Amino acid sequence: MFNKQHIQRLKERIETIERRLHELQKSADYKGAETPIQVILEIEDRQEDLALIKAELKKCIDRTFQARVLVVDDNEAHNERYYRILRSSGFVVSQAYRVEEAKRKLEEQLFEVVLLDMELPADNQHSGYMGGFELLDEIIHLYPTTMVIVLTVHPNIAGDAISRGACNFLNKGPDIDYLLADTLKTAGWESRIRQARRRLAEERDNPETGASGEMVTMSPALKSACLQANTWASITDVAVVIFGATGVGKKMLARHIHNQSSMYDGPLVDISCKNLKGSFDQLWGTREKPGYCTLASGGTLVITDLQDIPLSSQEQAKLLTLLRRQTFTPVDSQKPITSECRVLFTLTGSLKDLLEQRQLITRLSEQLHVAPIYVPTLLERNDPNELMAIAGSLMRRYTTATMIAEDARAVLTRFPFAEGNIVELKARLLAAAETTIDGIIRARDLPLIP
């Protein structure tokens, strides 16, 4: 957390100095040759301070950003060499030696960069040494935010790979050790930019957001929840618990907090307690396979379905260490690692019920009580305009319908969506869109709504 907060302070200092410089230069331009020597000296001092702070800011950003890299090379010596160089330069590195192994790792987690040996054997041995192209085509097709840098000694292969979507190439020569880290860092930043653009596109299409990507908050009840979210967004070392009924938009509010925080340009990663199988090992990972805390480095980790939290006091103590000290220890290591992600939780149900019914250790209960945010149901929001804004967004995203007629609007605003909430609203609109002929959803198309 320190890096992110320090970066924010540096940015604020830069803004302050630039404002002061603007004032001084404006004064100097006005007075011309009669500018006092004190003003000239202060301008020089401020410019020097500005250059030093900008240099420090660049170093901090470089340290904070940990691109996730998959090295794919069947030559063990080369693979290990690239692994060591990249790890020492601050990258989070995984390794694969075969096409199938690389495909499996790409399915398991998101990588900013793949360093790909083009002379990799293909899965089909009869096709010769074309495995690099096989994997390249699949990455470009399935993982559009992942940048591929190819390794080869053949210029024609490099040119062919770039024409098929690779972002750059490195020659397997003696200079590769000096070029590797800088080349991958540039590609990593480009990947993060692509991820940010993709998130913005997804937010525009989200049923609870408007055209700007912000949450639709017309009702006082939801505005109150968003106001709390905005308050806690800037405090990244506090674990927020977002709770409420099924389908009210808890994950959307978690995304809102991420986007409003200083971690907005980092990854947003989520994991359900239902998938943890009784322990938090998937959060910590191993030295070879990064866990979710590492994957969310520089961004936000959302732990969903807190009502299914593992009950082991030992496991809960590990989670408490992450929340209080911002450190975790990989499963196969005894050396703690500083976490560079913030943690949010979502809970279906009541926070009070969780603390009363689940066997939580006292200190974890206290920690989860610090920043609770309740997301109201559609019934509690009781705002027809907000309901119809969400319904319209759902209709445009998930159906081919073009309009919700007035009689259907009246029916929807009367219906008490107390159980399924937005999930139920979506299901009913999907069913209605299937029965309409002209693309207009009418009251008669809405199933089982009196």
DSSP assignment of 219-257 equals SHHHHHHHHHHHHHHT-TTS-EEEEESTTSSHHHHHHHH
How many whole angstroms separate alpha carbon 112 and alpha carbon 118? 18
pTM across the whole model: 0.56
Q: Are residues 224 and 368 in the same domain?
A: yes
Identify whether 206 is part of a domain: no
Domain boundary among 64, 95, 116: 64
Q: Are residues 47 and 157 in the same domain?
A: no
Residue-wise burial string across 110-137, b where 16 or more C-beta atoms lie within 10 A, e elsewhere: ebbbbbbbbbbbbeeeeeeebbbbbbbe
pLDDT band at 334 (very low <50, low <70, confident <90, very high): confident
Give pLDDT tens digits for 352-391: 777 777 667 778 888 888 888 999 888 888 788 888 888 8
Q: In sequence order, what are the residues at sequence separation of 6 or more whose Cβ sits closer than 8 angstroms to the Cβ of residue 96? A: 70, 71, 72, 102, 105
* pLDDT, mean of residues 193-213: 56
Q: Which residue has the tokens 């969310």?
A: 296
pLDDT band at 211 (very low <50, low <70, confident <90, very high): very low
Q: Which residue has the tokens 């900013």?
A: 112
Q: Are residues 310 and 355 in the same domain?
A: yes
Q: Which residue has the tokens 């976490």?
A: 339
Task: Give the CB-side neighbour count of residue 380, counting CA atoms within 13 A.
Answer: 15
* pLDDT, mean of residues 383-411: 83
Domain with residue 313: its CATH number is 3.40.50.300
pLDDT in the model for residue 76: 92
Domain with residue 437: its CATH number is 1.10.8.60
Dig out the tokens for 418 from the structure. 């107390």
H helix runs in 65-215, sequence order? 76-88, 99-108, 131-142, 155-163, 176-205
Total number of domains in the chain: 4
pLDDT in the model for residue 415: 78
Q: Are residues 244 and 320 in the same domain?
A: yes
CA terminus-to-terminus distance, the chain: 52
Q: Are residues 319 and 347 in the same domain?
A: yes
Q: Are residues 171 and 258 in the same domain?
A: no
pLDDT band at 230 (very low <50, low <70, confident <90, very high): confident
Q: Are residues 22 and 147 in the same domain?
A: no
Q: Are residues 346 and 331 in the same domain?
A: yes
Q: Are residues 222 and 371 in the same domain?
A: yes
Identify whether 203 is part of a domain: no
Cβ-contact 122, 130 below 8 angstroms: yes
Q: Are residues 282 and 388 in the same domain?
A: no
Identify whether 204 is part of a domain: no
From the list 215, 130, 164, the residue with the least C-alpha distance to 390 is 215
Dig out the tokens for 440 from the structure. 């207009």
| Domain coverage including residue 47 | 2-64
* Model confidence at 320: pLDDT above 70: yes
Q: Which residue has the tokens 């689940």?
A: 358
* pLDDT, mean of residues 418-429: 74
Q: Are residues 399 and 365 in the same domain?
A: no
Angle at 385 between CA 379 and CA 388, to 5 degrees: 80
Identify whether 187 is part of a domain: yes
Identify whether 450 is part of a domain: no
Q: Are residues 364 and 397 in the same domain?
A: no
Identify whether 313 is part of a domain: yes
pLDDT in the model for residue 289: 81
pLDDT in the model for residue 43: 84
Identify whether 411 is part of a domain: yes
Instruction: Please report, rounded to a whole number, the percentage of residues in the chain having pLDDT higher than 90.
Output: 13
Identify whether 200 is part of a domain: no
* pLDDT, mean of residues 106-110: 82
How many whole angstroms separate alpha carbon 178 and alpha carbon 180? 6
Domain boundary among 376, 397, 422: 376
Domain boundary among 64, 89, 109: 64
Higher per-residue confidence, 205 vs 430: 430
Dig out the tokens for 226 from the structure. 């968003």
